[in-house]
């Protein structure tokens, strides 16, 4: 994951978001979609090698963990969310790692990639993040099932954008993938993208409910053809969420799309990524398959909340040699 000549602080620093064109989408190409296959056993073998082949220690591990912090969509999506909880989460987004830890590492100014909330909390989050340039992402379109009437899903997107959300995490209709109704899926995502306007659209595939990796690969491609700025694994509410085989499948779809169109599309694994060691595996996978341009918050995000606490705990261990109690790294 690193070269011996690179400085750890160069890896960790959160660079300004890179300027690249948004994905405008393209006409639906059903021949391309039909040609997409997924060799499940080969994908699983490749994913299984990551833990043994990619390992970083000491200063380099700390640097990559700090990089991971800058890529987190700090998230609260609970039925009992309150304005106070969201405000505390936004304070944590501004200062995700304790100041004494950052000072000891010689860093400052680190923030997360975004704060992700339900529509009802968008205005609260926008106000709490004023002046920080941290975007607010809203989950929308009948999250997490995506089964509300379509016109209401479109209206929800518009209202979240009007409230100040700069990113919209939409959910696709899984039934359209399971029945191979690619035209309907394309039309659905295309209309959702138009409703987003200038806000970036992240399409949640709910991969744990799509049945096969081939369905995951084809759905990924359809969403990108329809103009998705990011493709995302899961809502976090499914039984199976982000996995390395699913991630490899989606990442290679992104690579194929970029090679054919010249357009970079972002990737967001979400759900079940709660340990620092897991974040390192995902970063290794991204670096191997897509390269350095995707190691920035405009092209890669973790959908997580508890992940940040474990990273902060590992950073303190790096500095002190001791593991601290979880309550020293609260989310707010």
DSSP category for residue 6? S
* SS3 label, residue 170: strand
Structure tokens at 231: 């493709």
Respond yes or no: is residue 275 known to be catalytic. no
Catalytically annotated residue among 169, 229, 278, 298: 169
Q: Which helix (H) or strand (E) holds 241?
A: none
The DSSP result for 57-99, as a single string, is -HHHHHHHHHHHHTTEEEE---TT--HHHHHHHHHHHHS-S-H
Catalytically annotated residue among 92, 202, 268, 310: 268
Which parts of the chain are beta strand (E)?
Answer: 72-75, 114-118, 136-139, 167-171, 200-204, 230-232, 266-268, 302-304
Respond yes or no: is residue 232 known to be catalytic. yes
Radius of gyration in angstroms for the set of CA atoms belonging to the chain, rounded to a whole number: 19
Nearest to 92 by CA among 111, 119, 67: 111
Respond yes or no: is residue 187 known to be catalytic. no
Catalytically annotated residue among 232, 264, 298, 310: 232
Sign of CA dihedral 56, 61, 64, 70: positive
d(CA 229, CA 166): 12
Catalytic machinery residues: 169, 232, 268
């Amino acid at each position: 994951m690193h070269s011996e000549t690179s400085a750890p602080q160069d890896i960790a620093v959160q660079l300004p978001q890179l300027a690249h064109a948004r994905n405008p989408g393209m006409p639906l190409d059903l021949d391309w979609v039909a040609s997409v296959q997924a060799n499940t056993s080969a994908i699983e073998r490749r994913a299984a090698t990551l833990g043994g082949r990619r390992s970083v220690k000491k200063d380099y591990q700390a640097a990559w963990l700090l990089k991971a912090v800058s890529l987190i969509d700090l998230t609260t999506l609970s039925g009992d969310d309150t304005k106070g909880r969201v405000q505390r989460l936004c304070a944590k987004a501004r200062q995700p790692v304790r100041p004494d830890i950052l000072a000891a590492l010689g860093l400052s100014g680190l923030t997360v990639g975004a704060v992700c909330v339900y529509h009802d909390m968008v205005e609260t989050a926008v106000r709490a993040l004023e002046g920080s340039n941290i975007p607010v992402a809203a989950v929308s379109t009948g999250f997490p099932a995506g089964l509300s009437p379509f016109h209401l899903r479109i209206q929800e997107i518009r209202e979240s954008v009007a409230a100040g959300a700069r990113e919209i995490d939409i959910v696709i209709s899984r039934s359209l993938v399971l029945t191979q109704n690619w035209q309907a899926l394309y039309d659905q995502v295309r209309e959702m993208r138009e409703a987003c306007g200038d806000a970036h659209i992240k399409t949640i595939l709910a991969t744990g409910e799509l049945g096969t990796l081939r369905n995951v690969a084809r759905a990924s491609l359809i969403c990108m053809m329809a103009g998705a700025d990011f493709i995302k694994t899961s809502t976090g509410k499914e039984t199976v969420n982000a996995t390395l085989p699913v991630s490899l499948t989606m990442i290679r779809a992104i690579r194929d799309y970029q090679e054919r169109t010249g357009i970079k599309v972002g990737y967001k694994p979400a759900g079940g990524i709660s340990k620092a060691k897991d974040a390192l595996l995902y970063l290794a996978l991204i670096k191997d398959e897509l390269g350095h341009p995707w190691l920035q918050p405009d092209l890669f995000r973790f959908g997580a909340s508890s992940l940040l606490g474990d990273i902060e705990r590992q950073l303190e261990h790096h500095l002190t040699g001791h593991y601290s109690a979880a309550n020293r790294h609260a989310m707010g």
